[in-house]
Amino acid sequence: MLRIGLWRVLVLLIGASLSGAALGCVATDGETSSANLNPGAGGGGGEGGFGQGGSGGATCVPAAETCDGMDNDCNGGVDEGCACQEGQSQPCYSGPAQTKNVGACAEGAQLCDAKGQWGPCIGQVKPITDTCNGIDDDCDGAVDDLPEVACGVGACHVVVPGCVNGKAPVCEPLLPSLEVCDGVDNDCDQLVDEFDPGVGKGCDTGEPGVCNAGKKACVAGAIVCTTQVTPSNEVCDELDNDCNGAVDDVLGTGGECSTGLLGICSAGTTACVGNGIDCVQTLQPQSELCNGIDDDCDGQLDEGNPEGGGACPSGQAGACAFGVYKCMGGQLICEAGSGGAEICNGKDDDCDGVADNGNPGGGTCDTGQLGLCGVGSQDCVNGKLVCSQPNQPVAEVCGDKLDNDCDGTTDEGCCAHPLCTTGGTLTPSCDPCVAKVCASDSYCCNSGWDSICVGEVTSICGLTCP
């Protein structure tokens, strides 16, 4: 029993080993098998303890590895050393990566050969030098980006684009012009500012004295005035030789001296006269001023009241508030005037500080009314004479020979007694006022002229009783 069991185990182990050895190998009849797809068939078990073992799988016979997706050399590796499988293809491009499929540049294609290697890249277009053809030959994203073309020199120099719409433009230099001083080769002879019509002409340098004279020159593209004379020692020749802005300021000049003339004309200054130095009068005669100086050089001071005669504020009141300027002791003083009689004008004519005092021009006047009402009072009011009426109409007073009621009639219709006095009855015919009162109050003419009647003289007749 033990021996039979051990034998069966041995047979199984041998069968398993043969089966594993057949995985992934090439069969002897030339048919390929896969390690995973065609394993050898295991032997069947023996019956009654001594069964017959199954037949083993196909045997792998190593061969040269080919690029076919199989493990031809039975080493467990498939297509080692192969880049591809024959017949495969892929896109390719050997130019700079940023130029692929840009402009004229395009990818090509590679085919895998029988050796499992990629063949050359067929059909690719790589960058070339750009030409003026309307195509982006260098594949930089810009069509015909050729450098500009220049021609001509100086002011004739012209720059044109390298290519326009696929065509190279013609570069034609500009025409030359007359050369001037501007830092430009105007006549296009490769010489700059070699001539300008203004060069060499006289000009003003802006310097004083003899240094003012200059000549025009072309310097750094601009006409400038260059100095022709340099400063020298000053001499008496009516020129500013040292170019300091002063003529004939020779050493020894400029000091004070006396001319021997009168007044302000006596002051002098040493200066060049001709070719020598002399005392030159500093001031010339002028109109006399009130300053205590002989301005007109006649030997007299302030003669003729110079600058005087004009009105001035005296500081006094009224008409004396303004005086007249007078030159005294080299100074102008205000000499006040004297006042006059006061008149009605709103001014202080007598210079006492009060205008129109004393009612100047005042007195009686005619008011234009009748009787006592015509005698008025004339008064000075706000600088004007005004005639006022001080007397108003009153009841006629009999026997005073005056027109008291201002009706143009004196003592008319004198009654038995004054209207403003109580007494006996009055007749209406003696006075117009009595007629009015009696018409209103018959008692006054029938019974007696009492105080009521006197009051009615005012209320009815409008007369004022004293």
Cα-based distances in Å from 264 to 278, 289, 297, 298:
18, 12, 6, 10
* SS3 label, residue 160: strand
pLDDT tens readout for residues 341-363: 888 988 878 777 788 888 888 88
> What's the pLDDT score for residue 11?
34
pLDDT tens readout for residues 117-171: 999 999 999 999 999 999 999 999 999 989 999 999 999 999 999 999 989 899 9
Nearest of 98, 173, 202 to residue 141 by alpha carbon: 98
Nearest of 414, 451, 407 to residue 434 by alpha carbon: 414
Burial 172-207 (b: 16+ CB within 10 A, else e): eeeebeebbbeebbbbbeeebbeebeeeeeebebeb
Q: What percent of the chain has pLDDT over 70?
A: 87
pTM for the full predicted model: 0.32
CB burial class (10 A; 0-12, 13-18, 19+) of residue 130?
buried
Q: What percent of the chain has pLDDT over 90?
A: 50
Structure tokens at 350: 């007598």
> What's the pLDDT score for residue 260?
92
Cα-based distances in Å from 49 to 16, 41, 376:
18, 21, 189
Top mean-pLDDT range of 71-75, 338-342, 397-401: 71-75
Q: How confident is the model at residue 399 (pLDDT cuts 50, 70, 90)?
A: low
Q: How confident is the model at residue 296 (pLDDT cuts 50, 70, 90)?
A: very high
- How do 322-328 and 311-313 pair as beta strands? antiparallel
Strand-pairing partners, residue 377, are: 364, 388
Provide φ and ψ at 16, rounded to 5°. -60, -40
pLDDT tens readout for residues 219-251: 999 999 999 999 999 999 999 999 999 999 998
pLDDT tens readout for residues 22-34: 333 333 333 333 3
- Give dist(CA 319, CA 96) in Å, integer: 116
Place of tokens 């130029």: 99
Cβ neighbours, 10 Å, residue 71: 21
> What's the pLDDT score for residue 357?
87
Kindly report which listed range (5-19, 79-93, 280-294, 375-389) carries the lowest average pLDDT score: 5-19
The domain spans of the chain are 1-82, 408-466
Give the helix ranges, DSSP H, for 43-90. Answer: none
> What's the pLDDT score for residue 35?
36
